[in-house]
Amino acid sequence: MNRRGPGRVRSEQARAAILDAALTLLSEHGYGGLSVERIAERAGVGKQTIYRWWPSKSAILAECVLDGDGARLVLPLPDSGDIRADLAAWLATAARYLEDPAHLGLARGLAAAAAEDERVGTALYTRLTMAARSALEARFTDAIASGQLRDGLDAALVADALLGTVMYRILTGDATRVPRLDDLVALID
């Protein structure tokens, strides 16, 4: 016998329409202009449908990323053989990416979702942050081994510091200003 749990079963068509509407509105209006009311109207569903499945607009954005291809949000660190040039290129790429209000809004929405819901925060950390952190740590470890960075440098700590710098810029509204590379490199020399 097939038993259903409590509550209504999600309509996959409504769910897809809601997620698509959220991303479309985010690109049109940024995170500040995104609202559950607008999402419901654009998706052609009632607000109660959205609130039955998600507690907030940021939770909707988190599901967009967690159920979609979140890995595409992890910007790869180039590997030209020059860690300083690669780091400068990576930071400049991140700044350009965040110049797009939709990208900046998505990043802020994901931060809000992580703060609102511990389960979502853990999932986002595992899918996005750990992927970026692992890639950066591996590059720094290789740069240490090749003599580009000093022996004894804590590659994991440096990766955390760089990701923290980018997230700080996102949260403070200064995301498009590239951190002073000389200051960051001084931390790892």
Q: Using an 8 Å Cβ cutoff, are 25 and 34 in contact?
A: yes
Give the count of alpha carbons within 13 A of 77, CB side only: 24
Residue 8's pLDDT band (cuts 50, 70, 90): low
pLDDT of residue 12 exceeding 80, the answer is yes
Q: What percent of the chain is predicted at pLDDT more than 70?
A: 83
What pLDDT, on a 0 to 100 scale, did the predictor assign at position 3?
Answer: 36
Least reliable range by pLDDT among 11-20, 107-116, 149-158: 107-116
pTM for this model (two decimals): 0.71
> Residue 125 to residues 65, 81, 102, 156: CA-CA distances in angstroms?
12, 29, 20, 15
More confident: 65 or 180: 65
Question: Under a CB-based contact definition with an 8 Å cutoff, are residues 26 and 61 in contact?
Answer: yes
Question: Mean per-residue pLDDT for 32-50?
Answer: 93
Q: What pLDDT is recorded for position 5?
A: 44
pLDDT score recorded for residue 125: 85
- Going by pLDDT thresholds of 50, 70 and 90, the confidence category of residue 73 is low
Ramachandran bin of 173, using left for φ above 0, alpha for ψ from -120 to 50, beta for the remaining angles: left
Residue 145 burial class via C-beta count within 10 angstroms: exposed 0-12, middle 13-18, buried 19 and up: exposed
Please check the confidence at residue 123 and state whether its pLDDT lies above 60.
yes
- More reliable by pLDDT, 135 or 7: 135
CA proximity to 27, closest of 111, 105, 115: 105
pLDDT for residue 47: 94
